[in-house]
Chain A
Amino acid sequence: MIPRGPEAIRHLLTRIAQDLIPKAGDAYTATDLGYFTVLLGMIAQDYDRAAEVLVAEHAALEPILREAALHIDDADLEARIAHVLAEKTPSLRVSDLTARSDASLKLLIDLHAAVEDAEAGGADWARTVNDEIWRFLEAHVAAHAYDVAL
């Protein structure tokens, strides 16, 4: 049987909240246990969505990189964009996907700075790409957002 991760994690946090916190010997321990339930709730959300979010984000970033590569006047950035676009799809392990995401986001930081400079210099293409990058960032933070009642 395939373990159902999020449900199992939620069972654990319910057990802590209902059975263990009331038995905590002091306020400090009770507070720490409360924090554990919050963390477990967040881990349950990530367990279910992490792979999909990381794959979808990379797919969303690729057209932005392609568009920028058409205009950007920086050999190093061009080479890094070409490298990211040519990379083979990694396994679906979250650690592999995260490593690819980290490399892409690092490139995005440098590319975004270059695009802003180009936009300040009056390049129309840069305004469009800058807007696309911000839409990507908006979707990025929304996709990673936690639903927590705190």
Chain B
Amino acid sequence: MGVREDQLQGGLSDFLAAKWRPGAQVCDLARIPGGASRETWRLKVHAGEASRGMVVRIDPETSLIDTDRRTEYRAMEAAFKAGLPAPETLFLEEDLRWLGRPFSITAEVTGCQAAPGGIPPEHRDAIGRQKWRLLGKIAALDPLTLGLADVMAATTPATCAMEQLDYWAKVIAADELHPNPVAHAAIRWLRRNPPPPARKLSLVHGDYRTGNFLYSPDGQIKAILDWEMAHIGDPLEDLAWSLDPLWCWNEPERAGGLLPHTEAVRAWEEAAGLEVDPEAFRWWQVFAALKGIGIWISSSEDFHSGASKAPILAIAGWLMTDRQQRILVDYLAPHSRHRFVRVVK
């Protein structure tokens, strides 16, 4: 066992003995690949006869997305309580004495995988329908009823789109290592062509895509992950992000590599109780590609500055920026053949 594992095992055992059960001892600590936004470890903890699998997410010194851990934790907690498949939240600890950094702990969701290599063909349709139905259910949630107003910025149907645009335009301006004329053209287009007001405000997951949920071997989605960008906003934001061409790069006809786009949208509309407004959706599609560039530029800056040595940040910064720029040029160029644009309704 390395020094890092030793420190974590000791610190987590002390913490869980104090907060969970006396005598708790952590074992089988294993770092989970991916999870670039937080250092993520799977562990088993024993206390007398009791035993439980848990997952700890530790704040990084830097990450893909600079987010508030409390927002992530509370959004996941609210989703779990609302009956959505989300990890059960157990502890949020901001006292640095245990691990030297804040962390959160959730129950382990056992026997599942996140499909980094793609969903098995026999499960694609079923998982795809679940994926967009679940996103529709998230869209149907009222963040104020869920008690999230104290951890999420207030907004209005008329202003939520431009507030999101302002946020990501600032991220790009602050973090771009080289001038990105495509991103700046997109920002200007989005400002010149504002969408109609949101039909409603809902809980927005912020990074809902294939790879950010766990599914069981029989093709059931068991846990929606990575809530760190959750906020209050237009539910079309999540839908457009989930349908971004980046998530089906090698199989563009299947949204998220799972379902034809029209079926995905139909499943979402039925569960959300909303109809997609094509004009508003077009704006959110362009925004999704721009937000992607913001995330990838930010990760590239972290890698370049040495703030993080995680190679996934460099891949995101180089490869994903490249692809997201191609998508934006396809969306916006006057002579474009729009090969990335899909009929969604």
Contacts and interface: CB of A to CB of B under 8 A. Distances in A.
Question: Does B bind A?
Answer: yes
Interface of A: 26-28, 30-32, 35-36, 38-39, 42, 98, 101-102, 105-106, 108-109, 112-113, 116, 130-131, 134-135, 137-138, 140-142, 144-146, 148-150
A35 B182 contact: no
Contact of A105 (B178, B322, B333, B335): B178
6 tightest A-B CB contacts, nearest first:
A31-B33, A35-B311, A105-B179, A28-B31, A134-B333, A141-B325
A144 to B, nearest CB: 6
Given A36-B311, A39-B315, A105-B178, A134 B335 contact: yes
A145 B33 contact: no
Interface residues of A, dominant DSSP: helix
A27 B32 CA distance: 7
Interface in B313-333: 314-315, 318-319, 322-323, 325-326, 329, 332-333
Contacts of B180: 105
Nearest to B185: A112
11 contacts: A26-B30, A39-B311, A39-B318, A108-B179, A109-B185, A134-B332, A137-B181, A138-B329, A140-B181, A141-B326, A149-B250
A42 B318 CA distance: 8
Given A102-B179, A108-B181, A137-B185, A131 B318 contact: no
A141 B289 CA distance: 14
B34 interface: yes
A37 B184 CA distance: 31
B188 interface: yes
Given A112-B181, A145-B323, 11 more contacts: A26-B31, A27-B32, A39-B311, A105-B181, A109-B185, A112-B184, A112-B188, A135-B333, A140-B182, A141-B326, A146-B318
A98 B192 CA distance: 31
A145 B325 CA distance: 9
Contacts of A141: 182, 322, 325-326, 329
A145 B314 CA distance: 15
Contact of A142 (B181, B250, B326): B326
A82 B185 CA distance: 23
Nearest to B332: A134
B275 to A, nearest CB: 32
Contact of A150 (B179, B319, B333, B336): B319
Nearest to B313: A35
Nearest to A98: B178
Contacts of B332: 134
B83 interface: no
A112 B180 CA distance: 12
Nearest to A36: B311
A145 B326 contact: yes
A142 to B, nearest CB: 7
Nearest to A46: B318
B312 interface: yes
Nearest to A31: B33
A69 B199 CA distance: 45
A134 B311 contact: no
Contacts of A38: 311, 315, 319
